[in-house]
Amino acid sequence: MIQVTIDDKTLEVEAGTSIVDAAKSAGIFIPTLCHTDFLEPEGACRVCSVEIEQNGRFQVVTACNYPIRGELTVKTASERALATRRTVLEMMLARWPQVKVVRDLAKHLGITEPRFAHPQKNEDPHACILCGLCVRTCREGVWQNVLGFEGRGASRRVVMPYDGVAPECVGCGACAFVCPTGAIQMMDDPNHPADAARIRRAGMVVTKEMVLLDDDQCKMRRAGTAHLVEIMNDYDLLPVNNYRFGSSDDAHKISSPHFVKRFTQNIQDGCALGCDMACAKGSDDFEITTGPDKGKRVCVDGPEYETAGGTTNMGIFDPEWCIEMNYYCDHYGVDTISYCTLMAFVMECYEAGVLNKERTGGLELPFGAADAAMEVLHQMARGEGFGLVAGQGVRRMKKMFVADYGADPDFLNDIGMESKGLEYSEYVTKESLAQQGGYGIALKGAQHDEAWLIFMDMVNKQIPSFADKAEALHYFPMWRTWFGLMGLCKLPWNDVEPTDNAETDEPAKVPKHVAGYCDFVAGMTGQEVTPADLIRMSERVYNFQRIFNLKMGFGQREHDRIPYRSAGPVTATEYESRAERYDKQLAEEVDFDPAGKSTDEKCAALRTWREDRYEKLLDAVYERRGWTANGIPTLTTAKALGIDKMDGLVDLLTANGAAQ
Amino acid sequence: MPKVTLENLEKLAADAEAARAGMRADLCVCVGTGCVSAGSVALVDELKRAVKDQGLDGELKVTPTGCNGFCAHGPIAVIQPEGAFYERLKAKDAPTLIQKHFVDSTPLEDHMYRDPETRELVPLEKDIRFFAKQQTIALRNRGIVDPEDIADAIGRGAYRGLRKVLAEDMAPEALIQMLIRSGLRGRGGGGFPTGVKWQSCCAAAVERSETPYVVCNGDEGDPGAFMDRSIVEADPHAVIEGMIIGAVAVGASEGFVYLRKEYPLALERLYKALDQARAWGLLGDSVMGTDFAFDIIVHQGAGAFVCGESTALMASMEGRAGEPRAKYVHSVEYGYRNRPTVLNNVETWAVVGQILDRGPEWFASIGTGDVSESPWGGSSGTKVFSLVGNVNNTGLVEVPMGITLREIVYDIGGGVPDGRAFKAVQTGGPSGGCLPEGSLDLPVDFDTLQKAGSMMGSGGLIVMDDRTCMVDVARYFIEFLLDESCGKCTPCREGLTCLNEILTRITEGKGRDEDLGLLEDLGAVLKDGALCGLGQTAGNPVLSTLHHFRSEYEAHIRDGKCPAGTCKALIKYTIDPETCTGCTLCARVCPTECISGEKKQLHTIAQDECIQCGTCLDACKDDAVLVE
Amino acid sequence: MALTVNGEPHPFREGLTISALMQEKRFSYPLKTIFVNGARVDRKAQDTTLLSDGDKVDVIHLMSGG
């Protein structure tokens, strides 16, 4: 702490505190113009000039950006400081005599008429006074960087590049919001929304939160989703060795700082133009060490959490390898999640003896076999060797390995992490029944983007009963489906949250943001909507899709099955790695005394119990959704949603026992 | 090519010197920018051809060198080791020069220097008054080393200071203490003790475990200044050596030279010198065979005056607009890419090697420095100035600190031409100040000039005669600064605009009584309120002329007169009936054809059409054109 | 000597702050709201708020994921 005397008050402040902040905490007012809390101080306008004394030296400094690093005396209104401040305002008043903020500040300093004429005198009350707040907000605040200064000295002015309207400007309105003179006006939106201002107001809420809160919350702009690696590891949710385990002592080797260090593109990118969250990252100047681009230095788009989590799922803890794999998946058009999960399956098969060097074309593929795994990726792209097998995905590999190598089908079904043919994404769901449902019931297969309920369920214990879980598995999939309907990204909904979100009735839903989306729809269409209306939109589409799946031969209870690896420990090793947890569950919840029992016996007992609970969950969810016990929307449900007019729908539902 | 090591440097130097000594003579031809414009490249070619034609290949060497300094007399060739000085040479003079000087052994008098006062020929360079009072450290190799040949530079002692540092495995702190003891202060204008700067950078680097950078500021933007350009053109290895030593001192592994794009010759020579230094093992993974690794990257500046300001320069290097930031936290702590950064000017870097080679005490013995109590004590060493304006010997000079302005202007510069009276000397570039006759006996050093209301700056020295209007001079510099202001802070952007408005008004005869007070207030707000060093000193041209030449301002405002006779709105040209001979010259040169008169009759000027350009005044051989 | 953290017992010791408890539980996710016996504890006070034996602590992670 450093002692500082400001006018007649002495106080202690932390080293690095600005004079403005120190003065504010002492209740002393220093006028500012180009300064605001959420931007780095610039010291451009010089309105906050004060006089300081340090070691007998007197000096005029700007209070906004002068960091207090040693004992200091500040005179906020010394003659010299006031002379500077007054002349600054006098010059501004000479140039912009009608601008209110200038007039007010000048008046505050006792100036009504400037003593000199300004050759660029501008009588416009909304003239730009070059404070730069808009430029800095656009750059530092919303990371858009479409505003800048052009010209030097007297010809300085604020423009978009090449003096035009930059196509990169998304009209977020933050610049107009911070402009102290009203010099920035928003143009009409070419999409002709019913109420553009209402949309902008709704958008501004998220913009402000990103600017003010993100660094303390999810760091989406600094690290992107990669920040989840270490968090998932802490909560035993990071998949390791084909989802056997949820954490690893090696996880620190691939945690987000390793990636952040590589991220050179902490800027808006092409993911979604104008998104304030800007979570997509790029690693520039990355040298490729394998495959056709070996030796090239490339820009890699990513990695995101899933790609890093997929890497640990293969038992690989090398961030450089992860980035290279990310690059080749992008390059070849392969989904990183599917690649990682199918490779994890291949590796477990290799370790279990289902595969061997003969069957993989000479590749040794135990967990952690980074080089060989990369080679499989190249082979997949070239359509040769073992790549031809692996590239078909987990579901087909299971069938092939049973047919060709006589593998145990039950074992492969337990560990082959796919549902509806889609490989699992990278979270361990064993301890969250709700999330098992989130993966299993999802219409498109085992993806977490319909519902991510692990924390609510497993950590927070907010949804203990089947009915609670079913309600969550109704609301969240419907809510997330709505983003798909709108073509919106889900992340701004809950990867940054209002500071008072916790005090709302249902924090998990982020009610303020949901209200913002209602404003968005109303502003766009001119029709008022409620949160329930939004859910209704999704229910119509979601049920329609489920019925469509049914028509195509899917969409029944059997298709919502999940591999047991996602619900509990398949092998003794897995059980033993978390034995305390499982034993406790057996004793307290299953009514099975684990004492003296073999691991296999305990595994079996736990499995029976957990599989039964999953079936009960399906019953509860189907009921909540108005579906039959076989997971089919009933005719009543279809009618209620107004989707019953489809040709053949009644016959289809009747034929499948859902005519009620 | 050989790799330079700690062991073989001396031998390489001896070999180069032996090769030189084995020759009968070395014809050193200036190929600095000034002489190149006057045709010295062709002169070099023709001299080489003439040497060959005369069969003197084995005896005579032709060496293209950096700026000789005596630019007004170029192209220049100096024959070493005797030091015979030939000036204003053209390519066609080459065969005659070789024939007469070397075959006939008679000097080529047509191209010898003639003293303007005594009218006598001065055969040797050292006897020319322009050189007599100079002492060269930064420019020690000017006119004798081929800047494009590293072997030649090594022969003249390049990298000897660096060798000492590496061979003795000097601890950074010991190295820094030597710099502090030498009294070297930043030659870019700030005058900050170089050793202290390095020390702070070291401390910041250690505290934060960051690798610092070293940067060379070569963004010389003052009108009429060419010190840095000439040093890089003449002796790039001196700069490189200094930077390597700086890197050893602070623990940097990368260095940068920020050099303006408008200096193509300097850039070309620097690139060549860097390539050679790398090839010879003086830069790269193993400097002089040691495990010290360092390399230098060149950034080309796009020609903004403000980029000479250190923080703006670093912003520019980072790819952003060249705008300064507040220096409450210094760039030695948070500089380029937020790492601790030592930034020194070209001239500062160029003397570092010498200080190490010859010892800090040697350097401190030159000039007025005394660092026994504080590193800020006095000014040690020499300073390079570009001497321009109304002075006979324009050129580049290096003088010991403490020399008086009078010695520079009269002894070296040869005084004011055309018998006119001295009026002022402007030091420190556009944001320096104008000092009058009464200040001529002041010793030139950092503190004295500052006390006198001007500054050392990077070394511009502009001499003005009695036909220079000081209000107009102030207006000229303010206009320049306004044009070059980045516009970020209010005092600089608006203050200079208002100053320019008021000064223009005064030179147009529309000044008001209160204007002088306004000028002072605006000067004060710049000094206290502007963000960067450029803005803070931008009021100097006004404040110093107001201080020393106040009556001239008052004459403009109160009497509507320009005493120097240059402010067009306030003057009238007439022709004196007594002295006009009717030669018609004025009528012929007048661009608006407003002068009429018959041959051998009195001529008259039609005042309505006269634009006060002064062409007739300059043309008239009989001084018959009068200015009112 | 025990606390109840999200419905599960957790050993109590004297001087245990909320922040320290979060470390013991490895609750590293930044966006969470903490209630002690039903009362919300401000983020800034978590370093200094001491827990008492028998306290019921609810840690609500505000994440609905991926």
Q: What is the pLDDT of residue A285?
A: 83
Of B451, B468, B485, the last residue of a domain is B468
DSSP structure class, residue A446: S
Is residue C39 in a domain? yes
Given CB atoms, is A217 within the 8 Å cutoff of chain C?
yes
Residues B194 and B294 in one domain: yes
Helices B346-358 + B172-182 axis angle, to 10: 100
Q: Are residues B477 and B420 in the same domain?
A: no
Q: Is B204 on the interface with A (CB under 8 A)?
A: no
Beta strands A2-6 and A72-75 are: parallel
C60:A216 CB<8 A: no
Task: Please indicate, yes or no, whether residues B547 and B592 belong to a single structural domain of this protein.
Answer: no
Instruction: Choose the weakest-confidence range: A263-272, A565-574, B577-586.
Output: A263-272
B246 phi/psi in degrees, rounded to 5: -60, -40
Both A492 and A390 in a single domain? no
From the number of C-beta atoms within 10 Å of its C-beta (0-12, 13-18, 19+), residue B262 rates as: middle
Question: Is the pLDDT confidence value at A187 over 90?
Answer: no
Q: Which chains touch B (3 or more CB pairs under 8 A)?
A: A
* A460 and A405 belong to one structural domain: no
Residue A273 has pLDDT above 70, yes or no: no
Q: Are both A353 and A456 inside the same structural domain?
A: no
Specify the residue for token string 């010089």: A46
> Quick one: B318 and B389 in the same domain?
no
Continuous segment of H or E residues that includes residue A434: helix A433-441
Q: What pLDDT, on the 0 to 100 scale, is given for residue C65?
A: 60
Q: Where are the alpha helices (H) located in B86-226, listed in sequence order?
A: 94-97, 129-132, 150-155, 160-167, 172-182, 194-208
Are residues A547 and A599 located together in one domain of the fold?
A: yes
Beta strands in B538-620 (DSSP E): 573-575, 595-596, 604-605
CB contact under 8 A, C61 and A460: yes
Does residue C66 form part of some domain?
Answer: no
* Torsion sign over Cα B551, B552, B557, B561: positive
Burial of A297 (0-12, 13-18, 19+ CB in 10 A): exposed
Which residues of chain A neighbour C7 with C-beta distances below 8 Å? 461
B1 assigned to some structural domain:
no
B interface mutation test: which of A152, A264, A284 has the most B CBs within 10 A? A152
Q: What is the pLDDT at residue B568?
A: 84
If asked whether residues A254 and A403 sit together in one domain, one would say: yes
- Domain finish residue from B468, B489, B519: B468
For chain A, the domain total comes to 3
**Which chain A residue has the Cα nearest residue C44?**
A216
Q: What is the CATH number of the domain that holds B448?
A: 3.10.20.600
Shared-domain flag, residues B295 and B349:
yes
pLDDT: which is higher, A293 or A211: A293
| Structural domain boundaries, residue A330 | 224-423
Number of domains in chain B: 5
Domain that includes residue C7, residue range: 2-61
Could you tell me the CATH number of the domain that includes residue B170?
3.40.50.11540
Residues B529 and B594 grouped into a single domain:
no
Does residue A145 sit within a domain?
no
Task: Give the rounded percent of residues in chain A with a pLDDT score beyond 70.
Answer: 98
| Helix, strand, coil percentages, rounded to 5, for chain C | 15, 35, 50
Domain assignment present for residue C44? The answer is yes
CA separation, residue A347 to residues A314, A336, A424 (Å): 7, 16, 16
Which residues of chain B neighbour A101 with C-beta distances below 8 Å?
none
Total domain count, chain C: 1
pLDDT band at A261 (very low <50, low <70, confident <90, very high): confident
CATH number at residue B616: 3.30.70.20
Per residue in B372-402, pLDDT tens? 889 988 899 999 999 999 999 988 999 999 9
Q: Are B114 and B86 in contact (CB under 8 A)?
A: no
Average pLDDT of B431-440? 89
- Looking at A403, A423, A443, the residue that finishes a domain is A423
Predicted local distance difference test score (pLDDT) of residue A85: 95
Q: What is the CATH number of the domain that holds C55?
A: 3.10.20.30
DSSP tag of A191? T
Chain-chain contact of C66 with A231 (C-beta, under 8 angstroms): no
Pick from B325, B487, B494: which is nearest to A152 by CB?
B487
In a domain, C51, yes or no: yes
Decide if A306 touches C, using CB distance below 8 A: yes
Residue A288 lies in a domain: yes
Residue of C nearest to A459 (CA): C6
**pLDDT at residue A270 tops 70:** no
Contact A67 B306 (CB under 8 A): no
* Assigned domain for B140 exists: no
For the stretch A310-348, pLDDT in tens is: 999 999 999 999 999 999 999 999 999 999 999 999 999
Nearest to B242 by CA among B272, B273, B267: B273
Residue A448 located in a structural domain: yes
Confidence class for position A38, pLDDT limits 50, 70, 90:
confident
One domain, residues A441 and A481: yes
Give contacts of C42 with chain A, Cβ < 8 Å: none
Are residue A362 and residue A446 in the same domain, yes or no? Answer: no
Residue B463 belongs to domain spanning: 382-468
Chain C: which residues have CB within 8 Å of chain A?
6-7, 26-31, 33, 40, 58-66
Report the residue of chain B nearest A86, measured CA to CA: B525
Mean pLDDT of B44-67: 92
Q: Which pLDDT tens digit goes with each residue over B523-578?
A: 999 999 999 988 999 999 999 999 999 999 999 999 989 998 888 888 888 898 88
Between chains, do B491 and A46 touch, taking CB under 8 Å as contact?
yes
Any domain includes C46: yes
Does some domain include residue A109?
Answer: no
pLDDT band at A177 (very low <50, low <70, confident <90, very high): confident
Q: Is residue B201 domain-shared with residue B221, that is, in the same domain? A: yes
Measure CB to CB from residue A118 to each of B304, B328, B498 and give the nearest one.
B498
- DSSP β-bridge partners for residue B300: B259
Q: Is residue B481 part of a domain?
A: yes
Give the model's confidence band at A279: pLDDT under 50 very low, under 70 low, under 90 confident, else very high: confident
Longest Cα–Cα distance of chain C, Å, equals 38
Residue B497 with chain A: CB contacts under 8 Å: 91, 95, 118-120, 153-154
Asked whether the predicted pLDDT for residue A266 surpasses 60, the reply is no
Tokens of B451: 């006390």
Six token digits for residue A34: 């180009």
> Which of A77, A110, A143 lies at the terminal end of a domain, its last residue?
A77
Residue C34 placed within a domain: yes
Higher-pLDDT residue of B406 and A267 is B406
What pLDDT, on the 0 to 100 scale, is given for residue B499? Answer: 96
Considering A402, A423, A444, which residue would you say is the last residue of a domain? A423
Q: Which residue has the higher pLDDT, A639 or A203?
A: A639
Res. A48: pLDDT tops 80: yes
Beta bridge partners of C3: C10
B477, B480, B497: which to substitute to probe chain A, counting the most A Cβ within 10 Å?
Answer: B497
Nearest CA in chain C to A473: C64
Residue A170 has pLDDT above 80, yes or no: no
- On average, the pLDDT of chain A sits at 92
Same domain, B399 and B282: no
Say what the pLDDT of residue C54 is: 93
Nearest Cα neighbor of A276 from A202, A190, A181 is A202
pLDDT reported for residue C66: 56
Contacts of C62 in chain A (CB under 8 A): 494, 497, 501-502, 507-508, 510
Q: Are residues A65 and B490, on separate chains, in Cβ contact within 8 Å?
A: no
State residue C64's pLDDT score: 56
* Mean pLDDT (chain B, rounded): 92
Whether residues B438 and B305 share a domain: the answer is no
Instruction: Please check whether residue B375 lies inside any domain of the structure.
Output: no
| Cα distance between residue B232 and residue A536, in whole Å | 75
Q: Quick one: average pLDDT of B17-26?
A: 87
A454 in contact with C, Cβ within 8 Å: yes
Instruction: Tell me if C28 and A234 make a contact (CB, 8 A cut-off).
Output: yes
- The verdict on residue C32 lying in a domain is yes
DSSP string, A460-502: S----SHHHHHHHHHHHHHHHHHHHHHT--SHHHHSS--TTGG
Q: Quick check: C30 and A462 CB within 8 A?
A: no
Give ipTM to 2 decimals: 0.87
One domain, residues A394 and A438: no
Residues B310 and B205 in one domain: yes
Mark which of B106, B132, B158 sits at the end of a domain: B132
Summarize pLDDT for A90-135 with one digit per residue, the tens: 999 999 999 999 999 999 999 999 998 899 999 999 999 999 999 9
Helices and strands, number each (H, E), in chain C: 1, 5
% chain B with pLDDT above 70:
100
With 80 as the cut, is the pLDDT of residue C1 above it? no
Cβ atoms of residues B268 and B41 within 8 Å: no
Q: How far is A428 from chain B (nearest CA, A)?
A: 39
Q: What is the pLDDT of residue A276?
A: 80
Based on the domain organization, do B102 and B40 belong to the same domain? yes
Domain annotation covers residue C47: yes
Report the percent of chain A where pLDDT is more than 90.
76
Question: How many A-C residue pairs are in contact by the CB < 8 A criterion?
Answer: 72
| Assigned domain for A621 exists | yes
* CATH number assigned to the domain comprising residue A48: 3.10.20.740
Average pLDDT of the segment spanning B250-267? 95
Same domain, A321 and A437: no
In this structure, which amino acid lies at residue A23? A
Cα distance between residue B57 and residue B47, in whole Å? 11
Do A603 and A506 share a structural domain?
A: yes
CB-based contact A455 C30, cutoff 8 Å: no
